[in-house]
Structure 1
């Protein structure tokens, strides 16, 4: 499988042979498992105080009084401790010791990453994710290594326009919306759309230049993972690789 390498002006410089990873079998089931595993690994343990609702002097009166046999406070008749009482304990509280991490085998995770990389070369999958491809001749887009040293937003904007992916960044900017439900009051008011992913061999300033563009993520090829390649467990993200990143891919995730 061959692909063109583009300059930062959007012109074809050369043609290279893509490594075998781009021909990997498409396994959406494994990709989904790998993404969920990455997401649940970041879950912070939370739970109730084990003694919540139990710090009380309440004791049961026993039978023969014509009242419900629930614990009642020492100097009164108010019920306490039991789940149905005001201020009582919870019947089945959340426990901090619960493990929320969905584990995945190492070989399965690597297979999922290889499969997600191969999905970036499937134009139909990329379009189904909602990316605007316009007149792009190929996916993924491969660009020369000089892009790694670009440090300003203005320069990266021109490069993305030359490569034909700026329409997708505009889509990501316009797609920002307010979340439905209570989550908007809990530190996550907005839902954002993912745009192009830029995979580089080394970061010489490109993160500074690309971070202000909506939906754009920058990652070094060694740190590539299934969640970046398939946000929301949906494979086929529009991806831009540098030439050296593609060459390194051949020896990774085996």
Structure 2
């Protein structure tokens, strides 16, 4: 299948043969599993101190002392004196089976299955119905995937990146991502994740010659090299068919990565 290559002015500058990776079967179930695996690998380990409740001066009163034989902290005239120790048999004692920091909570995935998910997510980027169903604005775009000349990788100015995206018909989706920023509900506002942001276009480039610097400040836009691409970037939240712009060199390298 041949598709047009766009110049920075938005006009066709030739055609390119789409590699076989874009003909892979779209598997939403595998894509979702790969995304969940990537998300679970970032979960911060948490758990109780392994010696919780053991480092105390508490002792059990002897028989015949006239008091319940429950361990009590030793001492006088300080807050903890006489209080029941942190033990399983006292009210409010330690947890019997608390979370353990050494437990593995990441969801594993086989390497072949992960590669299948990436190939499937790449194939989904050419389906206009799926891309539109994710909420992307693609009214001014004729064909997907969008492929642009390698000169796109040389852009270092944000203003020039904006002009190029406008010519390619992608800028409206960037504006949608910008307007979609909302304040998160709940306590997450105070924990470093105050804003919820929309996801905009993904730019896949064969080489960074300034484009990452030029596009890093655009809301919702991610720039990635073929070697770094993963299912989570191509299908945020596990939903496939993110609006994606490819350069010619990126198309060649992504095919070599999986079919070399």
The answer as to 2:37 corresponding to 1:32 is no
CA distance in structure 2 between the partners assigned to 1:187 and 1:250 by the alignment: 38
Alignment TM-score, normalising by the size of structure 2:
0.89
1:65 is displaced (CA, Å) by 8.0
**What is the aligned partner in structure 2 of residue 21 from structure 1?**
21
* Partner of residue 89, structure 1: 94
Shift of 1:238: 0.1
Question: Which residue of the partner structure matches residue 200 of structure 1?
Answer: 205
What is the Cα deviation at residue 82 of structure 1?
2.4
Kept after mapping to 1: 8 A contact 2:61/2:68 = no
Change (3 A) 1:236 1:67: farther
Match of 2:242 in 1: 237
> Secondary structure at 2:36's aligned position in 1?
helix
RMSD: 2.1
Contact 1:6 1:143 survives alignment (8 Å):
yes
2:119 aligned to 114, 118, 124, which one? Answer: 114
Matches within 5 A, 1:142-153: 142-153=147-158
Whole-angstrom CA distance in 1 between matches of 2:65 and 2:134: 68
- In the superposition, relative to structure 1, how do residues 78 and 136 fare at CA in structure 2: closer, same or farther (>3 Å)? same
| Residue 141 (structure 1) aligned to one of 142, 146, 154 | 146
The separation in 1 between residues aligned to 2:91 and 2:68, in whole angstroms, is: 12
- CA deviation digits over 1:93-126, x for unaligned, max 9? 2211011221111111111110000000111111
Runs of at least 5 residues in structure 1 that lack an aligned partner in the other structure: none
Residue-pair matches, total:
253
CA contact (8 A) 1:35 1:227 kept: yes
User: What CA distance in whole angstroms lies between the structure 2 residues aligned with 1:215 and 1:168?
Assistant: 9
The CA distance in 1 between the partners of 2:181 and 2:163, in whole Å, is 23
**Structure 1 range deviating more: 69-78 or 43-52:** 69-78
Question: How far is the alpha carbon of 1:81 from its aligned partner?
Answer: 1.2
Give the alignment of 1:1-254 within 5 angstroms: 1-61=1-61, 70-75=70-75, 77-82=82-87, 85=91, 88-254=93-259
Instruction: Tell me how far apart the structure 2 counterparts of residues 11 and 186 of structure 1 sit (CA, whole Å).
Output: 46
Summarize the Cα distance change of 1:25–1:65 in structure 2 as closer, same or farther, 3 Å threshold: farther
Distance 1:62 1:10 in 2: 88
**Cα offsets for 1:171-194 (capped at 9, x unmatched):** 111111122222221111111111
Q: How far apart are residue 195 of structure 1 and its match?
A: 0.4
More deviation, 198-207/6-15: 6-15
Could you tell me which runs of 5 or more consecutive residues in structure 2 were left unpaired when the two chains were aligned.
76-80
